[in-house]
């Protein structure tokens, strides 16, 4: 009878809760903690001069535990730091706006039992009121005990005191930041999105009282404001992971842009701790030589090369993992012998290799090379399914935020797809709106129209219209242009009349696959996908598996790209049309008055609300359900309405009512 395997992850999740052997890589960990303490000390003393901690560089082989350090820092630093994990994008240069976006998104994440935005603002308040920055709950509890007017007066007084001491801060930005922990969930989501430089919808903008997106000239001051506010209490620790992916795509251009980004952070933002993680071989051969001397002077600070586990550390890791085993067959070192553990350490086994061999032993096999090809396929299939699950969760979460799919991640997925399809080739990429590819029909400009606000969408359509040559516009099919966006829809319809213009509504399945494709291929480049015996898969192995098993050239979006300018979209997308996989380039018509499908009525959230309202727009139903905390998304409510049968009647493109109401 074989022993049950342990539920331990093979791939690293920076936000997961992993088993941790403190003495492993302790030097790198302590260096980061010292940098945090140094920054807190400098800013608490009011030191505005040079002397901030230099960026740290963490290098090592695949599976050595670089990403695991992030989880350790979250646990070790707790509320004394704000942890931000950033992986590079390959479709565009990493810019200060992208970093700001990542910081504000991750401020909403919980760490050590508290939202990071609460830890940040609470620490600032406690320190400003002559308390301890470690008592982040004190300031928050005090303000939450007041009524709305009392809280507003206190925050305004506190803000005035801050600006007297630091007049270079962005006061409007800081005011929204300090108010964030006291907002309801809808207003908080909108506020963090706007503070992160994202384009937000008209509804969200009205909710928080802003009229324009965060202007480009305010991005660096905004970053400086967040970093300065955090530095004396819970400093920002920005961790750039998987930097080897910068070598992909346009290679040197992306690396130089990254160097410029770090220079901006060091010279202009200053009050943060920067940690950089990469494969040692790729950093030495492919990244460092490309950086200019000026960039190297700022990018390369104290460096740490993570060593392989010693025999004692290998034994400690196995003891740690086996501590949760429900019924070991024999005392430790079972399922190994002491000699086997020493041998694996002598053969430079990484923690990931040790873990995979442990799980393999617990499953009852002593022949790790048996059916290696089948085992490899199984491992890749599991990694793909894991990527799909994460992609679905990400899309749902973005939908709750009234945002589309993260445009940079979706565009990176498109680039991977182009490289996998024989009839396509990448010419250049300069972001979600500027992807240039070669198709059998000729060169094609692909633009992801990802914006949330109708004015921003109209501006993006204008930019697309001025581009030369054949063009393809993309947008998620669950985010249609609303009927009330008359100017935007007018521009879009005019574009569709032009012979060089094509349009594709991206279905949800393809969006999920593009996000999962981005995750699995970037993990392959970083050697974060473990094959048999814990040896990382080569990127070419993973790409071949994707081609042969997933047939990406048959995906709807791939067929549309191959069709190029000949796949002319002729009809308008409507909100009542179900998400499905039509044939590429198939035109879809939009009825002006249409009943929902023929299924029987479902006692669903949307229908309950519609019975109460009698007639409503889809957006009103989404808003009503969210206000009750139902966690509804636009796509789930649309599905419920479509499945309700003839009880629901569609009027036009965005209005629904219960059958029997006079129209």
What is the average pLDDT across 97-123?
A: 86
Give backbone dihedrals phi and psi of 533, rounded to 5 degrees, phi first: 65, 10
What's the confidence (pLDDT) of residue 588? 33
Instruction: Kindly list the distances between the CA atom of residue 619 and the CA atoms of 124, 395, 488, in Å, as whole numbers in the listed order.
Output: 37, 18, 18
What is the DSSP annotation of 556-598? HHHHHHHHGGGS---S---TTSPP--PPTT------SEEE--S
Cα 269 to the center of its chain, rounded Å: 23
Any idea which of 141-150, 201-210, 368-377, 454-463 has the lowest mean pLDDT? 368-377
Question: Is it the case that residue 589 has pLDDT exceeding 80?
Answer: no
Q: Are 529 and 383 in contact (CB under 8 A)?
A: yes
Between 609 and 403, the more confident residue is 403
Q: Does the pLDDT of residue 457 top 70, yes or no?
A: yes
Q: Which residues pair with 617 in a beta bridge?
A: 655
Average pLDDT over residues 592-597: 33
| Pair of tokens at residue 536 | 């990382």
Find which of 11-15, 317-321, 369-373 is predicted with most confidence, using mean pLDDT.
Answer: 317-321
Q: For position 602, what pLDDT does the model report? A: 36
Q: Where are the domains of the chain?
A: 26-305, 311-366, 407-566, 593-658
Is the pLDDT assigned to residue 293 strictly greater than 90?
yes
Q: Which residues contact 604 (CB under 8 A, 6 or more apart)?
A: 640, 643, 644
Digit-coded pLDDT (tens) for 36-85: 999 988 876 665 555 678 999 999 998 898 888 888 998 888 878 889 99
State the pLDDT at residue 123: 78
- Of 183-187, 444-448, 534-538, 587-591, the poorest mean pLDDT is in 587-591
C-alpha to C-alpha distance for 78 and 298, rounded to whole angstroms: 28
Residue with the bigger pLDDT between 644 and 330: it is 330
Residues in the chain: 663
Alpha-carbon distance of 237 to 103, in angstroms, equals: 10
Tens-place pLDDT, residues 518-562: 999 999 999 888 877 778 899 999 999 999 999 999 999 999 999
- The token pair at 217 is 């000239």
What is the average pLDDT value for the chain, to the nearest integer?
84
pLDDT at 582: 40
User: Comparing C-alpha atoms, which of 375, 358, 457, 329 is closest to residue 2?
Assistant: 329
Q: What local confidence, expressed as pLDDT, does residue 627 receive?
A: 63
Q: Please report the pLDDT score of residue 368 as a whole number.
A: 44
Q: How far apart are CA 608 and CA 413, in angstroms?
A: 38
- What are the beta bridge partners of residue 657? 615, 649
Distance CA 234, CA 272 (A): 10
Q: What is the pLDDT of residues 112-150, one digit of tens each?
A: 677 889 888 887 787 666 666 667 777 888 888 889 899
In 247-350, where does DSSP find H-type helix?
A: 252-264, 280-282, 293-299, 311-322, 338-346
pLDDT of residue 563: 86
Res. 264: pLDDT tops 90 = yes
Long-range contacts of 329-336 (CB under 8 A, 24+ apart): 329/3, 335/3, 335/361, 335/362, 336/361
State the residue for tokens 């901690």: 53
For tokens 């303490």, the residue is 37
Q: What is the pLDDT of residues 366-384, one digit of tens each?
A: 444 345 666 788 889 989 9
Instruction: For residue range 472-521, list pLDDT tens digits in order.
Output: 999 999 999 999 999 999 999 999 999 999 999 999 999 999 999 999 99
- Per the DSSP assignment, residues forming a β-bridge with 650 are 594, 656
Q: What is the pLDDT of residue 234?
A: 83
Q: Which two tokens stand for residue 105?
A: 């998104």
Is residue 569 over pLDDT 90? Answer: no
Q: What confidence tier does 214 reach under pLDDT thresholds 50, 70, 90?
A: very high
Joined tokens for residue 38:
């140094």
Strand ranges (E), 378-490: 425-429, 435-439, 442-448, 471-476
The pLDDT value recorded for residue 599 is 36
Higher pLDDT, 166 or 587: 166
Better-scored residue on pLDDT, 564 or 353: 353
pLDDT score of 100 more than 50: yes
pLDDT of 97 over the 60 cut: yes
Residue 643, pLDDT above cutoff 70: yes
Q: Name the residue among 657, 644, 588, 579 with its Cα closest to residue 618.
A: 657
- Cβ pair 435, 463 in contact under 8 A: no
In this model, does residue 571 exceed pLDDT 60? no
Indicate the pLDDT class of residue 405, thresholds 50, 70 and 90.
very high
Q: In whole angstroms, what is the distance from residue 130 CA to residue 54 CA? A: 29
Residue from 549, 476, 552, 475 nearest 518 by CA: 552
**Residue 596's pLDDT band (boundaries 50, 70, 90)?**
very low
Is the pTM value of this prediction over 0.85?
no
Measured CA to CA, the distance from residue 382 to residue 532 in angstroms comes to: 13
pLDDT at 578 exceeding the cut of 70: no
- Tell how far CA 67 is from the center of its chain: 15
Q: Name the percent of the chain lying above pLDDT 90.
A: 53
Phi, psi of 595 (to 5 degrees): -80, 155
* Residues of the chain above pLDDT 70, percent: 84
């Amino acid at each position: 009878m074989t022993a049950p395997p342990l539920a331990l992850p093979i791939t690293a999740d920076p936000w997961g809760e992993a088993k941790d052997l403190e003495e492993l890589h302790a030097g790198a960990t302590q260096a980061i903690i010292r940098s945090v303490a140094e920054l807190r000390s400098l800013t608490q003393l009011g030191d505005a001069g040079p002397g901030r901690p230099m960026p740290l560089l963490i290098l090592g082989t695949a599976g050595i535990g670089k990403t695991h350090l992030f989880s350790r820092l979250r646990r070790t630093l707790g509320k004394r730091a704000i942890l931000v994990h950033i992986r590079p994008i390959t479709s565009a240069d990493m810019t200060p706006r992208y970093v700001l976006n990542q910081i504000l998104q991750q401020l909403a994440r919980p760490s050590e039992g508290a939202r990071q935005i609460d830890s940040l603002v609470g620490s600032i308040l406690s320190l400003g009121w002559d308390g301890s920055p470690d008592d982040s709950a004190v300031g928050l509890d005090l303000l939450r005990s007041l009524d709305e007017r009392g809280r507003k007066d206190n925050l305004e007084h506190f803000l005035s005191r801050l600006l007297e001491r630091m007049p270079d801060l962005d006061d409007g930005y800081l005011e929204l930041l300090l108010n964030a922990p006291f907002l309801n969930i809808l207003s908080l989501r909108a506020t963090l999105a706007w503070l992160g430089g994202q384009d937000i919808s008209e509804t969200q903008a009205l909710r928080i009282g802003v009229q324009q997106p965060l202007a480009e000239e305010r991005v660096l001051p905004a970053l400086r404001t967040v970093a300065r506010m955090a530095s004396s209490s819970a400093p920002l620790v920005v961790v750039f992971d998987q930097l080897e992916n910068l070598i992909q795509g346009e290679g040197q251009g992306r690396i130089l842009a990254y160097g410029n980004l770090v220079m901006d952070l060091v010279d202009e933002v200053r009050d943060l701790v920067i940690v950089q993680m990469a494969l040692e071989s790729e950093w030495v051969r492919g990244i460092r030589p490309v950086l200019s001397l000026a960039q190297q002077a700022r990018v390369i600070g104290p460096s740490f090369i993570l060593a392989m586990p010693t025999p004692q550390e290998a034994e400690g890791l196995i003891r740690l993992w086996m501590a949760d085993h429900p019924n070991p067959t024999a005392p430790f070192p079972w399922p190994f012998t002491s000699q086997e553990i020493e041998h694996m350490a002598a053969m430079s086994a990484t923690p990931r290799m040790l873990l995979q061999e442990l799980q393999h032993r617990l499953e009852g096999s002593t022949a790790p090379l048996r059916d290696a090809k089948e085992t490899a396929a199984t491992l890749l299939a599991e990694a793909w399914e894991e990527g799909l699950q994460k992609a679905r969760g990400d899309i749902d979460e973005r939908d709750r935020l009234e945002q589309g799919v993260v445009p940079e991640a979706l565009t990176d997925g498109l680039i991977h797809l182009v490289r996998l399809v024989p009839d396509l080739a990448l010419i250049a990429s300069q972001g979600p709106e500027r992807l240039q590819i070669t198709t059998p029909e000729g060169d094609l400009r692909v633009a992801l129209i990802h914006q949330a606000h109708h004015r921003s969408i109209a501006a993006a359509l204008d930019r697309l219209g001025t581009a030369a040559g054949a063009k393809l516009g993309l947008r998620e099919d669950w985010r249609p242009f609303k009927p009330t966006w008359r100017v935007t829809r007018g521009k879009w319809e005019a574009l569709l009349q032009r012979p060089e213009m094509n349009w594709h509504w991206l279905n949800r399945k393809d969006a999920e696959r593009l996000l999962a494709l981005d995750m699995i291929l970037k993990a392959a480049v970083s050697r974060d996908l473990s094959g048999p015996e814990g040896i990382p898969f080569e990127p070419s192995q993973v790409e071949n598996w994707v081609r042969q098993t997933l047939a990406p050239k048959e995906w709807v979006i791939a067929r549309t790209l191959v069709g190029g300018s000949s796949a002319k979209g002729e009809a308008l997308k409507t909100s009542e049309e179900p998400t499905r996989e039509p044939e590429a380039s198939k035109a879809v018509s939009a009825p002006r008055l249409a009943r929902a499908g023929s299924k029987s009525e479902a006692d669903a959230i949307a229908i309950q609300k519609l019975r109460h309202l009698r007639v409503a727009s889809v957006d009103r139903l989404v808003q009503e359900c969210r206000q009750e905390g139902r966690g509804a998304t636009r796509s789930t409510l649309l599905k419920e309405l479509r499945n309700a049968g003839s009880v629901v009647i569609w009027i036009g493109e965005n209005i629904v009512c219960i059958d029997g109401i006079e129209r």
